Each structure stands twice: as C-alpha cells, then as structure tokens.
Amino acid sequence: MALSSTLTAAQGGTGLRLDRLTAADATAVFDYCQDPVFERYLTIPWPYLRSDATSFIAGFVPKGWASDAEYTWAIREADSDELLGVIALRLPSGSLGFWLGAAHRGRGLLPEAVGVVADWAFSTGVTDSLRWECLVGNTSSARVAEKCGFTFLGEVPAESAYRDGGHPLSWSGRLLSTDPRTPRPGWPWA
Ligand SMILES: CC(C)(COP(=O)(O)OP(=O)(O)OC[C@H]1O[C@@H](n2cnc3c(N)ncnc32)[C@H](O)[C@@H]1OP(=O)(O)O)[C@@H](O)C(=O)NCCC(=O)NCCS
C-alpha cells in the first residue's frame, strides 16, 4: 500500500496516533484479548493464544495491507508507544472493526479513532462509505457509531461469520463521506 499507514488526529481530541502493529505489541494484544467481553462480541479465536497474537501481527495484518483487503492500525496516544487498542477497515465493504483494552474504555478514544480513519478513507478515496455492525446488545460499540454520525440501518444477520460459522443478528450502520459527524436520530434507544 503506497498510502501512509500512520495517521494522526488533525486537530483537537486527545491526540491519537494510528500506526502499524509491531512484534513489540504481541504481549499487549495477547493480554487484552483474554477479556471475556471479546469472547462475546468479537470473532477472534477463543481461547485466545499467544500464537494468535503473533500470527495476527506478523501474518494477518501485513497481508491485509499488501492486498488492500484490510487496513489495520494500532491505536496509541500521540506521544507514547503503548498499545491501547486496534481499529481496522475492510475493503471493498468499508466495514470497520475495533476494540480497546479494558483500561482504556470510556474516554472517547474510539470515536476519535473512527473519525481519523473516516477522514483518511474519504480523503484518499479508498471508499466513500463506511459500514459498522455489532452484535445486538453491544451498546458500547453502537454508541461509538452513533457519536460518529452513522445512520442506524436496523437489525440484520452479521456480515462476518462468528466462531460457530453463524451470522447472528446484528445492529448495522453506515457513514457516507457527505454525512455530518454528529449523532442522528433512529438509534434503538433514541
Ligand atoms: C466498543 C469500544 C471500542 C468503545 O470504545 P470507547 O473509546 O470506550 O468508546 P466511548 O468512550 O465513546 O464509550 C462508548 C460507550 O462505552 C460504554 N463505556 C463507557 N465506559 C466504559 C468502560 N469503562 N467499559 C466498558 N464500556 C464503557 C458506554 O456505554 C459508552 O457510551 P456513553 O458515552 O454513552 O457512556 C470498547 O467498549 C471495546 O473495546 N469494547 C469491547 C470490544 C468490542 O465490543 N468492539 C466492537 C465490536 S463491534
């Protein structure tokens, strides 16, 4: 991929840096991915082994960049190398996936990271529309999408297969490049 893989928030926010995952992040990925919330809401292997973290960083992520099929970034504070979480953009669907280590949730880091990825995706033209989905009931994820300006599209079978091969009912949303980045009506709780 010729496009820059290191992104920073243009202005305001907490000053996030999105960059490449490296071998030095493997322990943090492994530790964060022991969280039972991940077993419930993500499609990562379970139990999650150290070898899953190393193959994710050394295999899945660089292959995704090389094939332009999935761009995956580490989420860090601008002035630190500590890994806080991960955000990924899958193409051509424009689907976002993301998670944070438990200690870093509830500070608005993910809405900021989604904004950075959206700015990058729309300005480079890799897509003009982002998709988001989460299992029904994952309100933390849905609140991120709502805050970022996604339009709630309803409950549909998940695009991604889960661990059992099924496509469970999921909340779905879409953000167009022309959409304002402010909450819109129509979310299940609004
Ligand atoms: C979804 C996730 C990335 C949200 O990121 P975040 O930076 O914490 O997002 P925000 O700070 O905007 O908080 C979003 C919502 O999370 C919930 N939340 C807040 N603090 C939290 C905490 N300490 N722990 C868990 N959830 C919390 C709240 O519902 C919050 O909404 P609110 O602003 O109305 O209170 C994060 O909760 C996470 O990693 N969850 C587990 C993995 C996952 O479900 N990923 C998405 C799969 S589709």
- The per-residue pLDDT for 151 is 98
Q: How far apart are CA 59 and CA 66, in angstroms?
A: 11
pLDDT in tens, 77-102: 999 999 999 999 999 999 999 999 99
111 lines ligand 1 (CB under 6 A): yes
Q: How far apart are CA 164 and CA 57, in angstroms?
A: 24
Residues of the chain above pLDDT 70, percent = 95
Query: 45 versus 8: which is more confidently predicted?
Result: 45
**pLDDT mean over 127-150:** 98
Ligand 1 pocket test, pick from 46, 89, 140, 162 with the greatest ligand atom count within 8 Å of Cβ, gives 140
Q: Which helix (H) or strand (E) holds 142?
A: helix 139-147
Q: CA triplet 92, 97, 186: central angle to 5 degrees? A: 90
- The per-residue pLDDT for 160 is 86
Ligand 1, residue 41: give the atom nearest the CA.
44
- The per-residue pLDDT for 10 is 56
- Angstrom distances, CA of residue 104 to CA of 20, 32, 50, 74, 86: 19, 11, 21, 13, 12
32 lines ligand 1 (CB under 6 A): no
The mean pLDDT of the chain is 94
Give the CATH class of 7-176: alpha beta
40 lines ligand 1 (CB under 6 A): no
Task: Record the tokens describing residue 2, joined without a space.
Answer: 């010729």
Ligand 1 pocket test, pick from 18, 105, 109, 116 with the greatest ligand atom count within 8 Å of Cβ, gives 105
Distance 47 CA to ligand 1 centre (A): 22
Provide the residue ranges of all domains of the chain, joining segments of one domain with +.
Answer: 7-176
Task: Record the tokens describing residue 23, joined without a space.
Answer: 């071998």
pTM, two decimal places: 0.96
Please report, as a single letter, which amino acid is at residue 131.
R
**Length reported for the chain:** 190
pLDDT in tens, 11-43: 455 689 999 999 999 999 999 999 999 999 999
